Structure 1
Amino acid sequence: MTNLEEALGEIDLLATAVATDAVPTKSALDDKINEHFAGAVVRKDLVKAVRGNAVVPSYVLEYLLGQYAASDDEATIQAGIDSVRQILATHYVNRNEHMLVKSEIRRKGRHRVIDKVTVTLNEKNDVHEAEFENLQVKGVIIDDVTVKQNPKLLVGGVWCICDIEYFHSDDQRVVPWILGSLKPIQVAGVDIDAYYEARKAFTTEEWIDLLMQSIGLNPEQFNERGKLIALTRLIPFVERNYNVVELGPKGTGKSHTFSEFSPNGILISGGEVTVAKLFVNNASGRIGLVGYWDCVAFDEFAANRRTDQNLVNVMKNYLANKSFSRGTSIYGAEASMAFIGNTTHTVPYMLKNSDLFDELPDAYRDPAWLDRIHHYIPGWEVAPIRSEMFATGYGFVVDYLAEVLRAKRSEDFSDKYKGYFTLDNSISTRDQDGIRKTFSGLMKLVHPTGEATADEVRVLLEFAIEGRKRVKDSILRIDATMRDTPVHFRYSDRECAWHDVVSLEESQYPQLYRRDWDATPDAGGRSGGDDDTTVVGSAPAVLVGSGSSGAVGPVQPVDVPLAEGHRDFSAGQKGVSYENLLLPYLRGASKITITDPYIRMPHQGRNLADLLSLLASAKDAADEIDVVLVTTEEPKVEFKQNQLLMLKAIKDASDAVGVRLAVRLDDTIHDRRIETDRGWRIDLGKGLDIWQRPSDNPFDFGRNRQEFRLIGSAFTVHFVKIPVGSEG
């Protein structure tokens, strides 16, 4: 064991080591990805390196990187980056430079461009005509064969690499632009069997991390629940006719997946939707977006207050039956729909005053329309996007993954849980459809061969049940008449034990969640239930034996007897602070030992400082408290100096207010606990680092008030009474 002063004496040596050992290395996962998916993966930070001022989706850039830089060899990568930059500089059309490019085409007679192309049918001349978005050229004749091979050109447009020719004619009616060739930017095809075979080399955790990196997110910045939420956004691309809603705060990346991830999806503004654009144009008979895209996502859907009731009715039928009627014809389509919007109120406010669909236009808060939604993604659990949340490791070229997901749309994994679990019979057919489709989508993503263990299946099934329950419970708030038939969102295992599933907000705010329901919630946020039923999913923070209602309350007075027991906390939960969790058990102690191996990063140091300042404010000004911190030394040389200097700064600040801090560095520890000389031992499941990292917003209330922060991952805290003077 080394004390802080001895470690600080090595700072000069550390600084020298940092200068000679600062070359970044790939992770073991990156090596495995390149080994099994050579040529189909790309380093994700390269997209930002090559983008420049090219306003194109990420899948366009990754398509080019996949052609030139799909390697783990640094020299090949750098050469590929240079090639892609050169291609973009030469062929990408900046909108404000369209006249310069036109002049270049005229001068050379033929030039290759990268642009978004949309095709319309000119009925008068009986020809198809292409329009180039950035080049600002329209009326370019395109042959019928090309249009037939690429029908998305007719709806929404496609990014393409095109050869444009120029030929002037004295006839003013003739467009001088000629389309020499057109190649959509997309992968030609994938070997799905090779994909399955390579999947076997990865553990479930590794595979999920690979998928996270593939959509541009750093898996190290997300807990298990956060990863599932992110992957749920991919289900519309892998599951036919899947309907999902995500409402949450601004800046959490809700629309990123739908705008940047796949050439098979389209993101449109909710206010721009019409029946003709979305379904079919009665005048022309041309089918709309749902006939050509795998996923149609509606951005800013909650802000759309201009509602066409006819659109709502047609959409309602489509969401339920995968078909729609216009005139005398009935059409079918397979497009999934995602509805994305921002919330302006907190979750407890919505639970107290309305429901979780509070932000939607009134026409869409129709219980019949909402009942068609298969899953509700809790966007409020997603932290605002920060720079460190973007992936720097290797992931699939998104176009490659998009084609794999498209190939999986024809498969059905909705019954893969039946070998292990059974849903409660009280769950209606429509509720079961929502659960099964979400489960099927997650299985295709995480276990594409359909093979998984009981525990792996359980995690996905519970998450699917929770998302549909969130929809159903909001409907019950809106339409009280639907409460007459009780529904138990639960499942049984092979031992015939029943497991209830509750949402995080239900367990965190039980009184608000069922504020006007006729049943009284128990500690798990449930009404009644069999004695042998186990609550799973998002369990509330309950101190066993303390009489707690489950919600974290104010600081416990000193004269209230403290009880032994434990508290369980869930990922994404709010309302937890050291003041209401730890301080009641630390009051009056003159000596405290904190054992936590992970006090290394700045936010972890901030947590320690917060606890020490809380002890300082709670004690008498004339008293002093001795605190010993036992932690481990940062193993990476380049970061060790920062850790030691941080601990020294915390010690100086703490000593100044009468909380005398001693730091001991011990690389053999693994437990996380706090012990006091008043006979209490607090076993910390996750140590002091229990919250997600703070946002970049300097005025985020969570920076100064811990109860506004989101819990990072589920953990349990045990409170144990030990004899005073015992070793514990």
Structure 2
Amino acid sequence: MDQFDQDNLDQQLTALFDGKVVRKDLLHRIKKGTNVPTFVLEFLLARYCASDEPEEIQAGMEAVLDTLNDNYVRPNEANAAQSRVATKGKHRFIDKVHVNYIEKDRRHWAALENFDSRRVAISEKFYRDNERLLQGGLWAEVTIGYNEIEDDDYAFFVEDLRPIQLSRFDFDRYCEGREAFSRDDWMDVILRSVGLEPTRLTKRVKFHFIARLAPLIEPNFNFIELGPRGTGKSYFYSEFSPYSTLISGGQATKATLFYNVQRRKIGLVGYWDTVAFDEVGGIKIKDPDTIQIMKDFMANGRFSRGVEVIAQASMAYVGNLDLSVEQIVNSEVYDLFQPLPKEFDLAVQDRFACYLPGWEMPKNSSEFLTGNYGFITDYLAEAFHYQFKQTNRYEEVSSRVKLGDAVEGRDEKGIKKTLCAFLKILHPNGKPSDEEFEEYVAYAVETRRRVKEQMNKRKTDDEFSRINLSYFTATGEEVIVYCPESRTAAATQEPSRRNIHAGEEGDDTPAETQTSTPMVPGVEVPTEPPSPAIEAETKPEPEEQHFTIHYGDTGYSYEALILPYLQGAKQVEIEDPYIRANHQIHNFVRFCEAVIKSPTVRKIVLTTSYDQDTDLKMLNERFEELKQSLLELDIELKILVNENMHDREIRIDNGWMIKIGRGLDFYQKPDLWFGVGAHDLSMRRCLETKVDIFRG
């Protein structure tokens, strides 16, 4: 290994922040081939590689690799890791630890991700001192012991747990060190700390990377970045900070994000500084209430779900643009919010403080990675976390910035929040010069204008038409700020307006001909789906039905039978004496999966019966697992027993009743469990039964 030559910035940084920095080239070498988060690897590098001497570095790298080999569990090695604990009696691991309260056991259990055990005993002191174990989990050095008492219902327990984070952070010392750097040098230090080489970036791109960090340092900051794939949009939220959590697509529920009424627990926004959504276009939101709560929270950091909840979490949304920016800005049909889910309406969009132009970011490439010193990621994350919780620069910004008349309420708030973030990141110790401050103002105004331009393209009237946002310099000159991609695009600057009075008396033009047409050749005009409100108005009322399902018929899934009759329902009650055998329990799980596709349902009640051959232990375990999974979706499952019941019926609290002669168990047992129909009930052959659906 060659001798490392420090440049001036390296020398200054290592002298002022000894023990708080690490060589990023070492991280790049060891990062390849492992899915260990960056802050975990740097925790080990700082422990073993605090030197520039080639021999010591080589020995330290070997020690890091040995530690990973001995203590880091890869997902496919879980069985070997468990065997090691059982054989040795205990072993230390590096793993992500979650703690869950299991209602049926009336106790907490730890779950280790890669060790692959969900039933590890843990003492209260660990999750009391580290609350994030209870929400989202925590990377830690954890010593797992083996329990040799056979009568106990667990094999492993947590003997010791040390979070992979700094135990103490000195903000005054951090600010004192900052004073020795110019603004530009400090910005380069920040960029090197996240693994980038600033000498290969333009000043504008440097500002973009600083803006990516804004949700990690400014509370209740709403950020969006859309752009091409492969630019590292989600990296900062998944690996840079242990105070950030990344939701990768899938379903976003109000119970998970905001508040779980059944558990009386606050969601992710109460435990994390930043909640980031990856692949935002793929988010599925089944309940309209989720969007309303999201709007309330994005507006002021509070919402109500029976209780008033206040939280500081910032929300970051990242996703991909499939069309070229040139196509979009010159099109009357498309806008730069095109990838967002349809539920993200103008009210959500108006709450974005900053739209970062992801199309200007460089693609991930080794040429942009630094080989120099930067802060240990966890140290910088602690600096950001401290300022997130303890500092407020809003009054300072408000007293210094002067914005033009076109800047309206949410514009002003968004611009000022972006300015606060830049000041916290680049000037934690004091105030920027007038020239530096005006650079931040121009950038903040541009990233808010990008939001307003897209809303103006979507709105049929002039509500958002004041897009020429401006600010005043220290000398009193007014400067109008433009977005580079759209400055000369007439379709964005002066979008055509639809006639919102189409079809009224005196207007002979058919409404469908009055929508704008694309200005870019080859861009297909999309057909807009009807809004949820229109769908709700036009959805026909389901009718009563009385029919027979014949032996061998297919096409009768629970979803097809029941879902049309769940409009507005909050509670579904099932009476079925035969939910006992394993396949009958599977049927009931499928039934619940069908029911919860109705966004209003909050409670499912099953009344069933047992006989002398029923395996009660197995049955209770299955029901408890189902209860827990439904609770995560904010749905209560209640199980009642009536040993004298014989009727089979489904009662819905909106008045509908469904009677199936055989109850839920009207499917033939598959001949092949890996054949068609084994899992998709619409393809499963049925037994003969009568079905009556009527108003109760």
1:229 equivalent to 2:208? Answer yes
Residue in 2 that maps onto 1:504: 484
Whole-Å Cα distance in 2 between the matches of residues 356 and 110 of structure 1?
A: 54
What amino acid is the match of 1:293? W
Whole-Å Cα distance in 1 between the matches of residues 61 and 118 of structure 2?
A: 32
Does the 8 Å CA contact 2:3/2:52 hold for their aligned counterparts? no
Question: C-alpha deviations, 1:428-450, integer Å up to 9, x for none?
Answer: 12111100000100111011123
Does the 8 Å CA contact 1:268/1:298 hold for their aligned counterparts? yes
Residue in 2 that maps onto 1:398: 377
- Secondary structure at the counterpart of residue 181 of structure 1: strand
Which of 39, 44, 49 is matched with 2:29 structurally? Answer: 49
- Secondary structure at the counterpart of residue 502 of structure 1: coil
Which of 343, 348, 363 is matched with 2:343 structurally? Answer: 363
Which of 119, 125, 134 is matched with 1:154 structurally? Answer: 134
Measured at CA, do residues 115 and 152 of structure 1 come closer, stay the same or move farther in structure 2, by a change above 3 Å? same
Question: C-alpha deviations, 1:444-466, integer Å up to 9, x for none?
Answer: 10111232111111111111111
- Secondary structure at the counterpart of residue 130 of structure 1: strand
Measured at CA, do residues 397 and 31 of structure 1 come closer, stay the same or move farther in structure 2, by a change above 3 Å? same
Whole-Å Cα distance in 1 between the matches of residues 3 and 59 of structure 2?
A: 20
Whole-Å Cα distance in 2 between the matches of residues 498 and 200 of structure 1?
A: 32
- Secondary structure at the counterpart of residue 207 of structure 2: helix
Residue in 2 that maps onto 1:408: 387
Residue in 2 that maps onto 1:97: 77
Whole-Å Cα distance in 2 between the matches of residues 26 and 217 of structure 1?
A: 16
Which of 94, 113, 129 is matched with 1:114 structurally? Answer: 94
Among all aligned residue pairs of Structure 1 and Structure 2, give the percentage whose two residues are the same amino acid: 37
- Secondary structure at the counterpart of residue 272 of structure 2: coil
- Secondary structure at the counterpart of residue 225 of structure 2: strand
Residue in 1 that maps onto 2:158: 179
Question: C-alpha deviations, 1:508-538, integer Å up to 9, x for none?
Answer: x3323224258xxxxxxxxxxxxxxxxxxxx
Whole-Å Cα distance in 2 between the matches of residues 420 and 272 of structure 1?
A: 42
Does the 8 Å CA contact 2:397/2:416 hold for their aligned counterparts? no
Measured at CA, do residues 465 and 415 of structure 1 come closer, stay the same or move farther in structure 2, by a change above 3 Å? farther
Which of 2, 7, 11 is matched with 1:31 structurally? Answer: 11
What amino acid is the match of 1:298? F
Residue in 1 that maps onto 2:121: 141
Residue in 1 that maps onto 2:196: 217
Whole-Å Cα distance in 1 between the matches of residues 194 and 32 of structure 2?
A: 20
- Secondary structure at the counterpart of residue 140 of structure 1: strand
Does the 8 Å CA contact 2:349/2:455 hold for their aligned counterparts? yes
1:330 equivalent to 2:303? Answer no
Q: How does 1:381-396 map to 2 (within 5 A)?
A: 381-396=360-375
Q: How does 1:554-633 map to 2 (within 5 A)?
A: none
Measured at CA, do residues 316 and 418 of structure 1 come closer, stay the same or move farther in structure 2, by a change above 3 Å? closer
Question: C-alpha deviations, 1:269-289, integer Å up to 9, x for none?
Answer: 132321111111111111111
1:348 equivalent to 2:329? Answer no
Residue in 2 that maps onto 1:297: 276
What amino acid is the match of 1:337? M
1:320 equivalent to 2:299? Answer yes
- Secondary structure at the counterpart of residue 506 of structure 1: coil
CA apart distance, 1:492: 1.3
Residue in 2 that maps onto 1:604: none
Question: C-alpha deviations, 1:531-560, integer Å up to 9, x for none?
Answer: xxxxxxxxxxxxxxxxxxxxxxxxxxxxxx
Bigger CA drift: 248-257 or 26-35? 26-35
Q: How does 1:246-261 map to 2 (within 5 A)?
A: 246-261=225-240
What amino acid is the match of 2:404? D
What amino acid is the match of 1:285? R
- Secondary structure at the counterpart of residue 481 of structure 2: strand
Measured at CA, do residues 204 and 109 of structure 1 come closer, stay the same or move farther in structure 2, by a change above 3 Å? same
Question: C-alpha deviations, 1:475-525, integer Å up to 9, x for none?
Answer: 111113244763541111233211111111122x3323224258xxxxxxx
- Secondary structure at the counterpart of residue 186 of structure 2: helix
CA apart distance, 1:187: 0.9
Question: C-alpha deviations, 1:636-667, integer Å up to 9, x for none?
Answer: xxxxxxxxxxxxxxxxxxxxxxxxxxxxxxxx
Residue in 2 that maps onto 1:239: 218
- Secondary structure at the counterpart of residue 364 of structure 2: coil
Does the 8 Å CA contact 1:413/1:450 hold for their aligned counterparts? no
Whole-Å Cα distance in 1 between the matches of residues 234 and 264 of structure 2?
A: 31
What amino acid is the match of 1:431? D
Does the 8 Å CA contact 1:417/1:457 hold for their aligned counterparts? no
What amino acid is the match of 2:44? L
Whole-Å Cα distance in 2 between the matches of residues 32 and 163 of structure 1?
A: 38
Does the 8 Å CA contact 2:453/2:467 hold for their aligned counterparts? no
What amino acid is the match of 1:391? T
Measured at CA, do residues 417 and 164 of structure 1 come closer, stay the same or move farther in structure 2, by a change above 3 Å? closer
Residue in 1 that maps onto 2:263: 284
Which of 307, 311, 316 is matched with 2:290 structurally? Answer: 311
Question: C-alpha deviations, 1:383-440, integer Å up to 9, x for none?
Answer: 2111111121110101000111111123122344566541124311211110000010
Residue in 1 that maps onto 2:453: 473
Residue in 1 that maps onto 2:42: 62
CA apart distance, 1:145: 2.1
Question: C-alpha deviations, 1:256-299, integer Å up to 9, x for none?
Answer: 11111000001111323211111111111111111100001000
Residue in 2 that maps onto 1:190: 169
Does the 8 Å CA contact 1:280/1:286 hold for their aligned counterparts? yes
Residue in 2 that maps onto 1:17: none
1:429 equivalent to 2:409? Answer yes
Whole-Å Cα distance in 2 between the matches of residues 305 and 27 of structure 1?
A: 49
What amino acid is the match of 1:458? E
Q: Aligned-pair RMSD on alpha carbons?
A: 1.8
Measured at CA, do residues 511 and 236 of structure 1 come closer, stay the same or move farther in structure 2, by a change above 3 Å? same
Q: How does 1:117-128 map to 2 (within 5 A)?
A: 117-128=97-108
Whole-Å Cα distance in 2 between the matches of residues 235 and 434 of structure 1?
A: 12
Residue in 2 that maps onto 1:167: 147
Does the 8 Å CA contact 2:251/2:283 hold for their aligned counterparts? no
4+ residue runs over 4 A deviation = 417-421
Bigger CA drift: 46-55 or 336-345? 46-55
Question: C-alpha deviations, 1:40-78, integer Å up to 9, x for none?
Answer: 000112123334643211011111112222344444433
Bigger CA drift: 475-484 or 457-466? 475-484
Question: C-alpha deviations, 1:608-659, integer Å up to 9, x for none?
Answer: xxxxxxxxxxxxxxxxxxxxxxxxxxxxxxxxxxxxxxxxxxxxxxxxxxxx
Residue in 1 that maps onto 2:61: 81
Residue in 1 that maps onto 2:690: none
Measured at CA, do residues 118 and 419 of structure 1 come closer, stay the same or move farther in structure 2, by a change above 3 Å? closer
Bigger CA drift: 241-250 or 102-111? 102-111
Whole-Å Cα distance in 2 between the matches of residues 144 and 304 of structure 1?
A: 35
Whole-Å Cα distance in 2 between the matches of residues 491 and 363 of structure 1?
A: 33
1:451 equivalent to 2:405? Answer no
Whole-Å Cα distance in 1 between the matches of residues 186 and 52 of structure 2?
A: 19
Measured at CA, do residues 484 and 460 of structure 1 come closer, stay the same or move farther in structure 2, by a change above 3 Å? closer
Residue in 1 that maps onto 2:594: none
CA apart distance, 1:242: 0.5
CA apart distance, 1:303: 2.9
Residue in 2 that maps onto 1:378: 357
Whole-Å Cα distance in 2 between the matches of residues 482 and 71 of structure 1?
A: 62
Does the 8 Å CA contact 1:371/1:475 hold for their aligned counterparts? yes
